[in-house]
Structure 1
Amino acid sequence: MPLNHSSQYAELTNEHFQAIGKLTVEWSNIEFLLGVLLSRLLVTPDFLARTYTDRMSGAARQDAISEACKIHSYRYGYKLVGQEQIKKILEINNKITPLRAARNKFAHFFWSRSSDEEIFGTNFSGGVPVGNKYKKSFVSFTVAELEELHKKAYEIVDVLSDLTQNLPEMKEDGLDSKIGPLRE
């Protein structure tokens, strides 16, 4: 039985659930915007790119963005996307990685209340509890730490939104004469 259903004293509070929910919503925004960002870097209409990016994990999207930035640098010499924009994209991409690690814990761990101010998560992994695997098998967060993670995620969404707005967008306008009417 999952830990947060074991007793009323271990069950997460509404404040815990709310803090986790806020972080989860912002993570969804981050993953969506990573897909949009990748489509812009690949000079592909956003909707068409989703046939590719929707199947990718957040980590895979980040890796593809890093590769696309390298190509813009080495192959295209920043002619399609400027050097300053690429630098900002790589910076924000690096800030997402530690947040993704926290998000993965919320998605895959069992959670319990340590106190009204702290929650404890474990993945109940098998094996002998030694080394790095053991150290990564549990974590605790205070409500204040959860709020700080949400704040970081919210700021990342703002930066990703600005970056995608400032990148060239391949519009679907005009494509209908070549491929037939666009359907919505």
Structure 2
Amino acid sequence: MPFNHTSKNSDLTDKQFELVGKLLLEFSNLDYLIGILLNRLLITPEYLGLTYNDQLTVMKKIIAIENAIELHKHRYDYRIIREQTLNDLTELVQKVKGIKTLRNKFAHNLWSRWTDDKIFGTKLSGKLINHKSPNRDSITITNLELKKHYEQAYELVEKANNLLDIIPTFEENIELIKRTIK
């Protein structure tokens, strides 16, 4: 039986569920926005790009963004996107990696209330404890830490939206779409 169904005392509090939900919602926003940022870097119309990057994990999108940033720096010499904007995007994706790691713990661990102010997650793996990193397969996190992670994720969504305002978009040319190949 999953941890948070074991007993009434192990169920997360409503506040804990709320904080986890807020954090995961912001991660979903980041996942989508990372895909749109990738489209912009690849100079691809939004919907065409989404058909491709919807199939990618967040990490693969981030790797593609990092590669595209290098191309914009070295091949295009900042002619399409300014250096500061690319630096801001690099900083954003590094922070998204941290949120992704925490998100994965929520997706793949079993969770239980430790106290009303702290939750505990574990993989309940059958393997022996790795004494060099004994907490690798478990985590405790306070409500305050959850709130801080949520606020950081919220800020990252705002930064991603700000970058989308700066990075040029490749508009679909309706005349080109209407055109037929003869």
Tell me what 2:156 maps to.
Answer: 156
Tell me what 2:82 maps to.
Answer: 82
Deviation at 1:131, TM superposition (A): 3.9
Deviation beyond 2 Å, 4+ runs, structure 1: 131-135, 173-180
| 2:94 is the alignment partner of 1:64 | no
1:133–1:53 CA distance, 2 compared to 1 (3 A): farther
50-59 vs 25-34, which deviates more?
50-59
Counterpart code for 1:97: K
In angstroms, what is the RMSD of aligned CA positions?
1.4
Per-residue CA deviation, residues 9-43 of structure 1 (Å, 9 max, x unaligned), is 00111111100000011000000000000000000
| 2:174 is the alignment partner of 1:168 | no
Tell me what 1:5 maps to.
Answer: 5
**What percentage of aligned pairs have identical amino acids?**
35
What is the total number of aligned residue pairs between the two structures? 180
Counterpart code for 1:109: N
Tell me what 1:146 maps to.
Answer: 146
Structure 1 unpaired stretches of 5+: none
How far, CA to CA, are the matches of 1:172 and 1:121 in structure 2? Answer: 46
Tell me what 2:47 maps to.
Answer: 47
1:112–1:87 CA distance, 2 compared to 1 (3 A): same
Deviation at 1:133, TM superposition (A): 6.1
Deviation at 1:130, TM superposition (A): 1.4
TM-score of the two chains, using structure 2 as the length reference: 0.94
TM-score of the two chains, using structure 1 as the length reference: 0.93
Structure 2 unpaired stretches of 5+: none
